[in-house]
């Protein structure tokens, strides 16, 4: 059973620092890498709307920049009634660095609401091994 509190604490702090002046929808994400290090990200929007970056993508970039190459678990936090699940593009970005059974927790600032496996969110997916040899 995964201990989500270290993820949640960091993700909420990141969510509060989100730059989301256009949607006002603040999201935080935290990935844990193969070294046990946590990497946080927030969404960073842009006046040229499509150039905005999701919280998950920010967290993955921070992980890679710090030397991490595997996601062992990820948590996403946002507010509102609906579950803040990763968007389709972010599911694929997570797929690059995670396994089918990697857990993806979806949280509100009060706690984890649902835990999915990556395979549940992105079934029959395409990944790095398709390009191997």
Positions marked active-site? 56
Identify the H or E element spanning 71. strand 71-78
Is residue 122 within 8 A of residue 99, CB to CB? The reply is no
Q: Which of 44, 40, 51 shows the shortest CA–CA distance to 21? A: 44
Question: x/- contact string, 19-38, with ligand THU (CB under 6 A)?
Answer: -x--x-x-x-----------
Tell me how far apart the alpha carbons of residues 20 and 52 are, in angstroms, rounded to a whole number: 9
| Selected binder of ligand THU within 12, 15, 33, 45 (CB under 6 A) | 45
Residues 51-70 that bind ligand THU (CB under 6 A): 52, 54-56
User: Where along the sequence are the contacts to ligand THU (CB under 6 A)?
Assistant: 20, 23, 25, 27, 43, 45, 52, 54-56, 76, 84, 86-87, 90
């Amino acid at each position: 059973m995964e201990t989500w509190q270290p993820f949640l604490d960091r993700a909420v702090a990141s969510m509060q620092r989100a730059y989301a002046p256009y949607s006002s929808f603040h999201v935080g994400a935290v990935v844990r890498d193969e070294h046990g290090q946590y990497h946080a990200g927030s969404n960073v929007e842009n006046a040229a709307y499509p150039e905005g970056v999701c919280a998950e993508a920010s967290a993955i970039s921070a992980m890679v920049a710090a030397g991490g190459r595997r996601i062992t678990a990820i948590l996403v936090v946002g507010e509102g009634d609906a579950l803040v699940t990763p968007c389709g593009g972010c599911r694929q970005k997570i797929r690059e660095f995670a396994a089918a059974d990697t857990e993806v927790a979806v949280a509100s600032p009060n706690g984890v609401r649902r835990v999915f496996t990556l395979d549940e969110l992105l079934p029959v997916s395409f990944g790095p091994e398709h390009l191997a040899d």
